[in-house]
Amino acid sequence: MSAAKTALLVIDVQRGILALPNLTRKKEIDQALDETVLCIAGLIEKARTASVPVIYIQHDGSPGHRLEPETSGWPIRTEIAPRPGEPVIHKRACDAFFETTLGPDLAAAGINQLVICGCMTQYCIDTTVRRAVSLGYDIILANDGHMTADTRTLPFEQIIAHHNALLDGFDAGKHEVRVCPSSEIRLTRRVSDLGRRS
């Protein structure tokens, strides 16, 4: 297998991403989000150390949305803030490729593998992962590096566990998704990989 040129894609880790109304477990959700951000910060540090590109996706919500541009919820969280020169791509839909420069930017850089983390699991993470595979990228999803909030029917823990199980091995042709803990993701300048499946 030829070496993959990898980028780390950090999706929608913004101050107001889980500031949803009527959350009954807000304390637990906020704590879990903080822990997820720590995992993401670790991936970012590994990527920067290895000169692997870090690409941020930032959602621009419509007027009145919790992620409306230039409101308090819109900025990327300070713990993982982009450094000068690290691209921030703006989107308005769950799919980070839809009507954005992400695809052309990745093509221009010769990137063919993505390590993905961020928010929210069942929306922007799931949609972007599936779209990326169909476009010909191999994906590594950090199973402890994405987060969401409770819904009316499911707690966030079940949503995350379901998507980790569902997406692991999801493929399109010869390209696939692998799901693993952030601690097992090894980032190097040219190759990001895990131990091969047995």
Catalytic residues: 124
Tokens 């919820």 -> residue: 73
Residue 101 in 3-state DSSP?
A: coil
Query: Residues near 58 by Cβ (< 8 Å), separated by ≥ 6?
Result: 12, 14, 74, 76, 88, 89, 90, 91
Q: Please check whether residue 52 is in contact with residue 7, taking contact to mean a CB–CB distance below 8 angstroms.
A: yes
User: How many angstroms separate the CA atoms of 185 and 29, rounded?
Assistant: 25
Q: Please check whether residue 192 is in contact with residue 185, taking contact to mean a CB–CB distance below 8 angstroms.
A: yes
The dihedral sign for the CA sequence 168, 171, 174, 177: negative
Q: How far is residue 115 from each of residues 1, 10, 21, 55, 177, measured CA to CA in Å?
A: 18, 9, 31, 10, 10
